[in-house]
Amino acid sequence: MKRCAWAKNQLLNDYHDHIWGKPQHDEKMLFKMLILEGLQAGLSWEIILKKEEAYRQALDDFDYKKIALYDERKYEELMNTPYLIKNKLKMKAIITNAKAFLDVQKEFQSFDSYIWSFVDFKPIAHTYQASSDVPSFDELSTRISHDLKKRGFRFVGPTIIYSYLQAIGIYNDHEIDCDFY
C-alpha cells in the first residue's frame, strides 16, 4: 500500500488511513480535532497522537458541553494530570474554545454547518506530488483563522487551521500517488 511520506509508523499510518483527509461532520470529532491541532503547536503530531487517550480521559471524552463548564478548580486539576501538556495557554484555550464552539453552534445550528460553509460544503482535493509541496497555510486557512479569532477561539492561527482543514477532510492533501488520494 502506498501512503503519504509522513506516515512512517503504525500510529501515523492508522491516523493517515482512517482519519486524515476524510470529510468529517460529527460535532464531537470536529471539536476534538480542533483541540488536538491546537495542542500540536510547536510539537510533533506523533506526540499529540500518543497523548490523545490521556486527553480523552481528562476531557470527558472531548465533550465540549462539559468542557465549557470547567472552572478554575478543573483547570488546575488538568494542569496536574499526568501525560497532558503543561502549557497554561493551551489548557485555557481548550475551555475557551469549548465555549466559543457552543456559541457557533447556536448561531449556525452546528459547527459543521459553519466550518463547511467556507468551502460550499465540498471538500477540496489538492494535487501535491509530495508532502513537502503542501503549504503550511493559505488564504482560506487565514480567513477561517481570523473569523474564529473574532468569535473568541484561541490557538487557531492560519497554520493550525490549515492542519485542521486537512484533519477534518475539508482539504485532501494526500500525495497524488497515495492510495488514499
DSSP line for 75-123 = HHHHHTSTTS---HHHHHHHHHHHHHHHHHHHHHSSHHHHHHHTTTT--
The type of residue at 159 is T
CA 96, CA 90: separation in Å to the nearest integer?
Answer: 10
**Residue reference for cell 502506498:** 2
pLDDT for 175: 97
The pLDDT, as a whole number, for residue 9 is 97
Q: What is the mean pLDDT of residues 167-180?
A: 97
Compute the radius of gyration of the chain from its Cα atoms: 16
Residue 109 to residues 97, 106, 162, Cα–Cα distance (Å): 17, 5, 23
Q: What is the mean pLDDT of the chain?
A: 97
Instruction: Give the confidence band of 177 by pLDDT, cuts at 50, 70, 90.
Output: very high
pLDDT number for residue 42: 92
From the list 136, 155, 135, 132, the residue with the least C-alpha distance to 145 is: 155
pTM of the full structure: 0.96
Strand-pairing partners, residue 125, are 172
- pLDDT for 95 equals 98
pLDDT of residue 70: 98
Q: Does the active-site annotation cover 45?
A: yes
Task: Encode pLDDT of 4-26 as tens digits.
Answer: 999 999 999 999 999 999 999 99
Catalytic-role residue among 20, 37, 64, 70: 37
6, 20, 27, 45: the active-site residue:
45
Is 15 tagged catalytic? yes
Stretch 108-134: mean pLDDT, rounded? 97
CATH number belonging to the domain at 10-172, selected among 1.10.340.30, 1.10.10.10, 1.50.10.150, 3.40.800.20: 1.10.340.30
Give the pLDDT of residue 44.
Answer: 95
Domain residue spans of the chain: 10-172
Cα 119 to Cα 99: distance, rounded to the nearest angstrom = 24
Q: Is 75 a catalytic residue?
A: no
